[in-house]
Amino acid sequence: MITAENFGAYSIGAKAERLFRMRQHGLNVPALFCVPEDAKDSEITAYINQHFGADAVFSVRSSATAEDSAACSFAGQFDTFLFVPAAKVPEKTALCRAAADSEHIREYLRISGIRRADCRVNVIVQVMVDADCSGVMFTANPQGILNETVITVGSGTGDHVVEDKVPVTTYYCNRSDNNYYAEVREGAPKLSNAQLAELLQTAGQIRNIFGCECDIEYAVRDGEIFILQARPITTLHADGHIILDSSNISESYPDISSPMTISFVKDVYHTVFSSCVRRITCNDGTAERLDNVLSNMTDAANGRIYYRISSWYDVITMLPFSRKIIPVWQEMLGVSDKTVTQSADAPRRMTKCRVLHSFIRLILSNERKMKQLNRRFDHLYPRFRTRIRQTDDPAELFRIYAELKDTLAGCWDLTLVNDMYAFIFTGLLKSALKKSGCENPEDTANQIICGSDAIESMKPVRMLGDIRNALREEQLNEAFFGIRFAEEMEQFMQRPCRSAELIAEYIDRYGDRCACELKLESETYRTNPLLLIDTLAACAEAPATHEPAQTPKLHGLAKIYAKKAYHGILLREKSRMSRGKIFGLIREIVLKCGSDFAKRGLIEQQRDIFCLTFEELGQAVNGSVSGLRARIAERQRQWDAFAAIPPYTRIVFDREVFDKHPSHCVAETICSESALIYGTPCSSGIVEGEITHISGLTADTDASGKIILADITDPGWVFVISQAAGIISKRGSLLSHTAIISRELKKPAVVGVGNACNHFHDGDYVRLNGIDGSIQLLRRKVS
């Protein structure tokens, strides 16, 4: 007989060979042997009696030399016999061999181009597992998601599962984030988190053993997992993969975004990056050649916005010294997977020369050009805002939008140059500090580039403090915080008092500045002033202005780098504030169109407009209005289903991006027992404290002396952060809102901790290290 000790000397077929190899690597594969073609019945019986005993029960199945190969799976073609008593094994072995000459096998061989002589049939005899439940596991989703493992489980043995005889639970596990959602059918069994974790670990081992994605059959008996079979997934491709990465874009567009936002953002990135490529290549036609790349700087899956990361690398590799720039860019944007992937050919040599000349010129003139852009925007913004306010006609609103786009498209790409300017000089500063022998260059650099009142993000924060103080001084707290309806807010703002004047001024200047301000569907202080009530209620007092931290005296290049990095960040914050205002204008255009469509009966209510894409809105404005209600209803159904799918930091598609349409879902996380996790340190200090999970500000929000755990923050959180011991943010990077505010307030902070909300809960006691980015669980909350 053929066993794990001698199988290498035989041609036994891939199915049996893989089982033996998995046993060699220590996987829990039930004991087995393989019967060669020329074995006699008496030899089979003697071997079973010697090694297993006459009472043993087996599964008997084929292992043809062409079966389960990378080209042909033969799935379901050969017979499998389960619960075979030892005495019946020779009989079932003969039936397996005879199947090779059956009509349907001969037809399969003909279609597959395989000669019958090349299909020799050996037979696997394996100890039968009388399973409580069993299933199939795909190390990659065969539909085309390479970092998603799919696990199905149903009651009883595997034949019931693959033949759809029992209801199943299907788990979709994203390996980048260690979380999953499950489609649960009524009456189907469920796996525990420990079992899921074990299966995922086993799937990784099998992938490494065979060097390919695999389809794996398993069984569970009394809590023990057995691996029964593994074969390659033959439908996936080795190249052409599309990687979607949330990086820091999830800070601007957390969780689900509307079709309107998704489509508008994609167009904005296409426009701005095309303009940037034209600028740095001196309009040599590169932008047109790369249009497929530039039109896919962002993408969406399951209602969430991602970077298409290969497109970004295609653009960045055009820059001089790109190998040194890419790691800096990855750090600043919080890209966790450092693998560089590209979809386009390398730029031409002449193009590289043009880019080198242009890039140096742009870096040298960056501060001057950005100040010019800011002055131009400050001049244009009031004009466009006035024009939008003065009309409710959708056609006129879209003409204004087209003019706004044309006006800014040729110059807004300078903000991309400034982003790179800030990233590069921050990276150079850290490098210079390291070379100078600085004990902690990362932390020192953070202190050097951190805040002052000049940082644009802090200006609305200071003004909120002024409003809070005015309400207190004028004894209007009770009147203001008792407001519940929009009419009451309007009446309050008509009062002849300093508080009302400041609120009106704040909404006029910073009404678009709030969490998720770049989502067109988000309510802002401008569209709903009532939101200010909870924000101001959280402002116990204006945050104190902190003196700059003592930093080492800089000399030479380090001093130059620090100055340029600091100014680059100031300019970046100003452009981000302006960007929010631009999106505020677009939001107003969309809402006005929504009001018009609702009045005309084209849609049910104003905010349904966000279920259309921006292109569809333009078509409707031009008269293509049929079927809007049905389209909106279908989108609402799809987007409601997307809510059951967890947000992922990375999705790797096999050549084509697609949405999922789950049903009967529940989303959970496979929790790690690790007491120590890491993120990006962005404000120094080490504190210990109790976790408080905050998802939004209310009048009852209290973080005094605690460590805030948040999915996302906005500048209005400064008052809560000022009372806290520190902050942990699921999203963010070195230059995010959370990072800037934390440095300004001298609060230890770690951002970009995607799994923090899964590890820590309200009341847990942790140590937060804002120097090395570690968060250590000290003790769980006592229930």
Nearest CA-CA partner of 492 in 470, 461, 511, 464 = 470
CA dihedral (64, 68, 73, 79) positive or negative? positive
Please tell me whether residues 92 and 12 are part of one structural domain: yes
Please indicate, yes or no, if residue 546 is contained in any of the structural domains: no
Tell me: pLDDT of 783 over 60.
yes
Q: What is the pLDDT of residue 102?
A: 67
CB 536 within 8 A of CB 471: yes
Angle between helices 498-510 and 458-473 (to 10 degrees): 160
Task: Give tens-digit pLDDT for 337-359.
Answer: 888 887 777 788 888 899 999 99
**Band of residue 695 on the pLDDT scale cut at 50, 70, 90:** confident
The residue-averaged pLDDT of 95-121 equals 69
What are 779's strand-pairing partners? 765
CA–CA distances in Å: residue 534 to residues 436, 490, 595, 720? 47, 17, 27, 12
d(CA 467, CA 508): 14
Give pLDDT tens digits for 582-628. 999 999 999 999 999 999 999 999 999 999 999 999 999 999 989 99
Between 186 and 673, whose confidence is greater?
A: 186
Q: What is the mean pLDDT of residues 65-76?
A: 54
Same-domain check for residues 407 and 443 = yes
Q: How many CA atoms lie within 13 A of 170 on its CB side?
A: 17
Per-residue pLDDT at 66: 60
Residue 666 has pLDDT above 80, yes or no: no
Give which of 719, 669, 668, 666 is closest to 694, Cα–Cα: 719
247 Cβ contact list (under 8 Å, min separation 6): 307, 309, 333, 334, 335, 336, 649, 733
Considering the chain, what percentage of its residues have pLDDT values greater than 70? Answer: 91
- Does the pLDDT value for residue 568 go beyond 70? yes
Of 112-126, 181-195, 717-731, give the lowest mean pLDDT range.
Answer: 112-126
Number of domains in the chain: 6
Q: Is the pLDDT of residue 369 over 80?
A: yes
111 with 199, same domain? no
4 and 106 in a single domain? The answer is yes
- Is the predicted pLDDT of residue 58 greater than 90, yes or no? yes
**Hey, what are 699's tokens?**
């009048």
**Contact 332/423 with Cβ under 8 angstroms?**
yes
The answer to whether residues 334 and 398 belong to one domain is no
Contact predicate 123/34, CB 8 Å: yes
Which of 97, 103, 160, 104 minimizes the C-alpha distance to 125?
A: 97
Q: Could you please report the per-residue DSSP string of 383-430?
A: HHHHHHHT---HHHHHHHHHHHHHHHHTTTTHHHHHHHHHHHHHHHHH
DSSP, res 279 = H
Q: Which of 156, 159, 153 is nearest to 171 (CA)?
A: 153
Residue 675's pLDDT is 75
Residue 507 lies in a domain: yes
- Is a pLDDT exceeding 70 seen at residue 240? yes
Give yes or no for a contact between 494 and 500, defined as CB atoms under 8 angstroms apart.
yes
What residue numbers bound the domain in which 18 lies?
1-128
73 and 27 fall within a common domain: yes
**Is 601 within the bounds of a domain?**
yes
Which is higher by pLDDT, 112 or 438? 438
Judgement on whether residues 117 and 6 belong to the same structural domain of the protein: yes
Instruction: Tell whether the model's pLDDT for residue 460 goes beyond 70.
Output: yes
Query: Residue 173 maps to which CATH number?
Result: 3.30.470.20
Mean local confidence (pLDDT), 627-645 = 94
Among residues 436, 535, 520, which one has the least CA distance to residue 483?
535
Residues 170 and 312 occupy one common structural domain: no
Residue 504 pLDDT grade (very low, low, confident, very high; cuts 50, 70, 90) = very high
Model pLDDT for residues 399-421, shown as the tens digit of each residue: 999 999 999 988 999 999 999 99
In a domain? residue 564: no
What pLDDT was estimated at residue 589? 98
One domain for residues 643 and 601: no
Domain membership of residue 543 (yes or no) is no
Report yes or no on 551 lying in a domain. no
Three-class DSSP category at 545: coil
Which of 14-28, 90-104, 641-655 is the least confident region? 90-104
User: What is the rounded (10 degree) CA torsion for 573, 578, 580, 583?
Assistant: -150
Band of residue 739 on the pLDDT scale cut at 50, 70, 90: confident
Residue 74 pLDDT level (bands cut at 50, 70, 90): low
- 134-145 confidence digits (pLDDT tens): 999 999 999 999
Whether the per-residue pLDDT at 540 is higher than 60: the answer is no
Its sign, for the CA torsion 534, 540, 545, 548, is: negative
User: Domain ends where: 128, 162, 193?
Assistant: 128
Q: What is the pLDDT of residues 315-327, one digit of tens each?
A: 999 998 888 899 8
How far apart CA 705 and CA 169 sit, in angstroms, is 44
| Window from 60-69, 227-236, 509-518, 648-657 with minimum mean pLDDT | 60-69
pLDDT bracket for residue 439 (50, 70, 90): confident
Which of 537, 561, 588 terminates a domain? The answer is 537
**Chain centre to alpha carbon of residue 780:** 28
Q: Is residue 595 part of a domain?
A: yes
The CA distance from 702 to 206, in Å, is 49
What average pLDDT is seen over the chain? 88
Look up the CATH number of the domain holding residue 752. 3.50.30.10
Give the residue-averaged pLDDT of 512-538.
90
Residues 443 and 574 in one domain: yes
Of 517, 537, 557, the one marking the end of a domain is 537
Same domain assignment for residues 332 and 380: no
Q: Give pTM, 2 decimals.
A: 0.88
* Within-domain flag for 246: no
Q: What is the arithmetic mean of pLDDT over 562-568? A: 92
**Model pLDDT, residue 341:** 84
Identify whether residues 40 and 87 lie together within a single domain: yes
